[in-house]
Amino acid sequence: MGHRQPLIILTCMRSYSSLVSGMLGQHPALYNLPEVNPFVETTLERFERRAMMVRPRTLDGFYRAVAEIEFGAQTEEAIDRARSWARARPSWTITKAMDHLAARVAPRRVIDKSPSTVLSDEALNRAIAAYPDGFFLHLYRHPGATTRSIAKITRFGSGRMRGQDPETSWYASNRRIIAAAPRIAPGRFMSVRGEDVLADPDRYLPQICEWLGLEATSEDLAAMRHPERSPYACVGPSSAPFGNDPNFLRNPAYVRRDIPEAPLSEPLDWDQPGRFLRPETVAIAQQMGYGRP
């Protein structure tokens, strides 16, 4: 059952995951879901209750996926039907719901790239336990650029929305992924730098496809350069507008880019003057291929 072998992208937020997963999702054998957050909770009832207390927009991707796949549209009416669909199945696990959606789009294999998967050991453990035959792609970005982007979107240090330190988010997420990799079945874990994929998709997308056991023809590569063709690559209706990075939703097209790599020793510009990456962050970044001559 191919739908039980999803591609789970393990990634810290702001690591090009919306664009990379959107590109992969245009392969004819793959189907990129919005962020359905399948591992943050157990049942649909608990998921909705938790999201409504903490961050209601967490539900947008799930509702948009159900609306599109079950009801063929992402209108306000379809989102209402998706919400009712979920509430009629309170005891379903979120992974059961994702499997249901995956079966509906089969034989295409689903992609989930919810950054929430790596925010806790519990969520990541659920992912590995739920899909022992799944494929897990570690997608990452330079810590300086990632932390700058996180600080900007969360307004870290502005006095308005001071959440978790962006460097701690990058370090904890990537350390958790690296630590979990040995527990993933042989041949089912792969790592790739987001900068490399965006700079040379004709080289790296075929490598990912080959790892997944898929052919990548010239026509497939041409299709994957158009993530904007996904039904989720746009702002949704007012009741569920997101389910993906807002910047991507507003401008989902791929434009080839060479992304210069800053030295790991460069001072950070999103916090107090004179701040540098911590030694433990630098060590992991070097392990991931940054900072090499």
pLDDT per residue as tens digits for the range 209-243: 999 999 999 999 999 999 999 999 999 999 999 99
pLDDT per residue as tens digits for the range 74-103: 999 999 999 999 999 999 999 999 999 999
| Residues 50 and 40 sit within 8 Å (Cβ to Cβ) | yes
Please say if the pLDDT value at position 184 is more than 90.
Answer: yes
What does the pLDDT read at residue 257? 85
Burial of 114 (0-12, 13-18, 19+ CB in 10 A): buried
Q: How far is Cα 246 from Cα 233, in angstroms, rounded to an integer? A: 10
According to DSSP, the residues that pair with 192 across neighbouring strands are: 139
pLDDT per residue as tens digits for the range 33-60: 999 999 999 999 999 999 999 999 999 9
What does the pLDDT read at residue 162? 53
What does the pLDDT read at residue 1? 43
**Strand 30-32 vs strand 7-11: parallel, antiparallel, or unpaired?**
unpaired
What does the pLDDT read at residue 293? 61
Please say if the pLDDT value at position 2 is more than 60.
Answer: no
Please say if the pLDDT value at position 192 is more than 80.
Answer: yes
Which helix or strand (DSSP H or E) is residue 192 part of? Answer: strand 189-193
What is the pTM (predicted TM-score) of this model? 0.95
Sheet containing 30-32, strands listed edge to edge, beginning at the edge strand earlier in sequence: 30-32, 109-112, 7-11, 135-140, 189-193
What does the pLDDT read at residue 3? 61
> Which token pair is 1?
């059952």
Q: How far is CA 239 from the centre of its chain?
A: 22
Residue 133: how many CA atoms within 13 Å on its side-chain side? 7
Across the chain, mean pLDDT equals: 95
Please say if the pLDDT value at position 135 is more than 70.
Answer: yes
Map residue 44 onto helix, strand or coil. helix
